[in-house]
Amino acid sequence: MPSEKEIVIVQKATVYDLKRIIRERPDKTYTPDELDKIFDAYITGAEQ
């Protein structure tokens, strides 16, 4: 089982990854549905 420190590291890495994905298109404004799709795609990809 991962330690609390390892869990925090993974959480921060996840947020960093998502931030980079969203910033790829700085001129784009995302709807909540679009963000859901991005997050779902990220989670699906991370599970593989």
Separation of alpha carbons 21 and 43, rounded Å = 13
What is the model's pLDDT at position 26? 94
The pLDDT tens digits for 1-48 are 999 999 999 999 999 999 999 999 999 999 999 999 999 999 998 766
Using DSSP's 3-state secondary structure scheme, residue 24 falls into coil
Tokens of 21: 């994905």
Residue pair 38/23 in contact (Cβ under 8 Å)? The answer is no
DSSP conformation class of 31: -
What is the model's pLDDT at position 46? 72
What is the model's pLDDT at position 34? 95
Amino acid letter, residue 29: T
What is the model's pLDDT at position 24? 95
What is the model's pLDDT at position 47? 67
The torsion angles phi and psi of 9, rounded to 5 degrees, stand at -60, -45
